[in-house]
Amino acid sequence: MKNHMELQQLIDKLHKERSLLKEEWTALISGRTPELSEYLFLLAREERKRYYGTDVYIRGLIEFTNYCRNDCLYCGIRKSNSHARRYRLSEEDILSCCRTGYSLGFRTFVLQGGEDGYYTDERMVHLIHLIKRQYPDCALTLSIGEKSFESYKRFFDAGADRYLLRHETADFSHYKSLHPPALCAETRQECLWNLKKIGYQTGTGFMVGSPHQTAEHLAEDMLFIKRLNPHMAGIGPFIPHHDTPFSGEPAGTLELTLFMLGLLRLMLPKVLLPATTALGTIAGNGRELGILAGANVVMPNLSPAGVRRDYSLYDNKICTGDEAAECRTHLEKRIASTGCRIVTARGDSKI
């Protein structure tokens, strides 16, 4: 066990050198205290300010299908959850979300969905063309899971700018314990390297407090993210979903999620770091606290109100009853309370 002074020195080292050794990450994560957190957040806010000032970027999230061929043990839209009410938005529905979003000031649309066989490469390419033709000044982000290099390349050539694919956990055996046998961490990580190679602004990330997770696992996550050097890193607490094998597992904590956000900001000062919906779900002011720990992105929902409740990855997800405009106004106020402000720029990565 390291004492307060030694742990503070690790934060200073991270601040200066932008990296730590595995055992240093583990010691810092497992030895964290409220005092160390405050110190970390202060430095993290300074770093964010240096590159982004007080700007917080917004991304309009369109959850366009909750059909999924995968069976991840933590996820509410896993294939074997027969209670999930499945839906799939049509092209017109999706374009209508973009229209609403555009008028609310969104200049990034994120198409997120389960791995849905209906949305073939051809259909995706068509959709990407349509959106980019109508909104040439907007960035288009995809978040539709694991695909071949060729598919990723086709989407990129069609106009997709960014791709989000969380690595979920960098530890291979921990990955196995969260996923069905067909999925492995190696393939997942390979996908991320491919996305970078193709030229996407690439986002990875992980859940905090997922079942069986240890401080060593989190240390490996930090080392993996350092190596990958992504443009974005999305992290949020694990939250149990009642219709999954992990229904009885405890949720990840606010406090550890915030600490990890602060560490990420110091490690990759220019990274785009969302204060996630999951963070806003475990605490009423979770996203504001995320901003105060170094985050600089929020991703409100643009999905049609009628399907929101059905994109249920975890229980008690916030904003499922709101209209897009309400979400936008609420968030504006919440972010303002942190001394930051929402801007309507595309918000490209500064890396």
Residues of this chain that interact with ligand 5AD (CB under 6 A) are 74-75, 166, 168, 207, 236, 238-239, 241, 278, 313-314
Toward ligand 5AD, which CB reaches closer, 113 or 269?
A: 113
Residue with the CB atom nearest ligand 5AD in the bound state: 314
Closer residue to ligand 5AD in complex, CB, 168/288: 168
Q: What is the Cα–Cα distance from 7 to 33, expressed in whole angstroms?
A: 10
Which tokens hold the place of 287?
């996203």
Beta carbon of residue 208, minimum distance to ligand 5AD (angstroms, whole number): 9
Query: Quick check: 128 and 159 in contact, CB under 8 A?
Result: yes
Which structure tokens are listed for 16?
């200066």
Q: In the complex with ligand 5AD, which residue's Cβ is closer, 76 or 347?
A: 76
Distance CA 287, CA 337 (A): 11
Helices (H), 88-214: 91-103, 121-134, 149-158, 172-178, 185-198
Q: How far apart are the first and last CA of the chain?
A: 36
Read off the tokens for 134. Answer: 């109508």
Burial class (CB in 10 A: 0-12, 13-18, 19+), 82: exposed
Q: Could you give the 3-state DSSP secondary structure of residue 5?
A: helix
Q: How far is the CB of 36 from ligand 5AD (least distance, A)?
A: 25
CB of 110 to ligand 5AD, least distance (A): 10
Extract the tokens encoding 301.
């929902």
The least CB distance from residue 21 to ligand 5AD, in Å, is 26
Q: 84 Cβ partners below 8 Å, 6+ apart?
A: 66, 76, 77, 243, 310, 312
Question: Smaller CB distance to ligand 5AD: residue 236 or 274?
Answer: 236
Return the number of the residue (316 or 329) whose C-beta is nearest ligand 5AD: 316
Q: Which is nearer to ligand 5AD, 107 or 241 (CB)?
A: 241
Work out how close the CB of 155 gets to ligand 5AD at its nearest, in angstroms, rounded to a whole number.
18
Task: Output the smallest distance, CB 332 to ligand 5AD, in A.
Answer: 24
